[in-house]
A = this chain, B = another copy of it.
Amino acid sequence: MNKPLILVSNDDGITSKGIRTLVEVMKELGEVIVVAPDSPQSGMGHAITIGNTLRLEENNIFDDVVAYQCSGTPADCVKLAKHFVLKDRKPDLVVSGINHGSNTSISVLYSGTMSAAIEGAIEGMPSIGFSLCDFSADADFSHVKAYVKSIAKNVLEKGVPKGIALNVNFPPKRNENIKGVKVCRQARAKWQEQFDQRYDPNGRRYFWMAGNFVNHDKGEDNDEWAIANNYVSIVPCLFDLTAHHAISTLNDDWNLTV
């Protein structure tokens, strides 16, 4: 039997520790190819590069693994991998990460890590985004390797329901031992921004976006609860955003004649 083909990408850039860890684990499961950004792309959401050109360069920073660095976003990387680098070969699995930092709850929308996974799912490939709730560049990933492998194996063996990408978050190493895995819903939480207003040496105003993550969710079946209680969270994510339940409400309540 042929080894499964596994496409690896991320949003922290091809030199980050998280993607090195992910490549290491995926090499135990199949043939790995890496197409990842040449620079950090955190917070890029599902951005794609349409008004500018893209660069794509092969490099050899991973042992025994074909790897390309791309000037674009994580979604660009998956598109280039699928439609240019791999041409007729379709990956059996797309994995993105391991992100340095949480992508729980609403962060899924801003996450470059998850946009690579969602792009894979749009292309009909089983796809997973992995994130560690630790933003530091030298974060310790050692405690999550066995979970990454187990989740990827489940996907390779059993697939994922159609039209879905998995958003997997891991508690940081500093916590006690991981208690297990919870399949969850996205928590109702959001960022409460504060803009730090400063002045440049020429006296012109500029801002840094800052803020706090605020959890409004009192449930125990969501990803914020899982992480806070030292479980791995898995949220199955849609790319069909339709709020089906709202269609009849709008049809009933609204007067849309002009």
Contact = CB atoms under 8 A, between A and B. Distances in A.
A59 interface: no
A122 interface: yes
A192 B246 CA distance: 30
Contacts of A243: 161, 163-164, 236-238
A193 interface: yes
A50 B54 contact: no
Contacts of A206: 53-55
Interface string A145-168: 011001100100010110110010
A209 interface: yes
Interface in A227-258: 234-247, 249-251, 253-258
A160 B245 CA distance: 12
Contacts of A90: none
Interface in A72-118: 73, 75-76, 79-80, 82-84, 106, 108-110, 115, 118
A56 B235 CA distance: 36
Interface in A188-247: 188, 190, 192-195, 197-198, 204-209, 211, 234-247
A55 to B, nearest CB: 6
Given A50-B42, A51-B40, A161 B110 contact: no
Contact of A45 (B47, B53, B54, B123): B47
Nearest to A244: B185
Interface string A12-51: 0000000000000000000000000000101111111111
What are the nearest 4 A-B pairs in CB distance?
A45-B46, A236-B246, A181-B256, A236-B243
